[in-house]
Structure 1
């Protein structure tokens, strides 16, 4: 596959609201996971250069289904529901929606998970708990730090140091990309990173 794949037609394919009701396809899947309102839908839209393919909202928790988008009959992009974090990190995995958890554990088509965080938050304890869970179930992860345009140079430098520390800690993360969906920064790199890691 080549990165120009993301310039080809992408269309809504299927929605899932019940465990085990996923579409029967042979296409590899790239899934997008993150806290509510980190910009998962915006990242998908930016990747395929479409403004309204995936509905975006300022209201956390707007995505309540698993939505599949077929890209050029070659790849499936899977928008997982945004999840809120419990007040205490130890409850994070238990509170992760059953629909999401079942998909992550049992979906054979899943080839790569794009784990999205908000640059203004950095990697918090609750993120680390979820990353431990992903590591334990053997999922291949690309870390995406979204909304990088919201930080100044000093904040970016501090964030880079923090992220590097976490990459050393979570060695199963294959790569990390800073992006800004509004500015287009890092989107080309993320496309290349996805394709090279499939």
Structure 2
């Protein structure tokens, strides 16, 4: 499974991606709005990578590794998952992204997530996709808005009590914004 945009390759994971992903997950600035805000260990990141690959095999969708076409560097990930951490949304499919800090501010998250949404609506056959971010994560909220998502609600994650914003987009809304 691979998709391309102007600057990016969205692809399945490779063993050699683990080192770069460990660095991303070990950066406190990257992780401050994720879960309880703590960094991930190498073992936790390896477990997360294995989970992301299992989702592809079990569901036919998952998280893409995001690679820069120009350099082949792993910038991070984007893709689709089930937001089990927020049971009130279920059943639902969530789009998310996480990039290494040096890739921020370049439109990469929007470009990658836009392609992942396209995949979700065309190839995975989804009718609605949500996205969830901490209420203070203004950068992710801007990406969601650029993607054409609309705010549905604010709520709290049961496991850690952190406030989050839930945004959503339907296939019809995506087609209207992105020329389906």
Q: TM-score, normalised by structure 1?
A: 0.33
More strand by percentage: 2
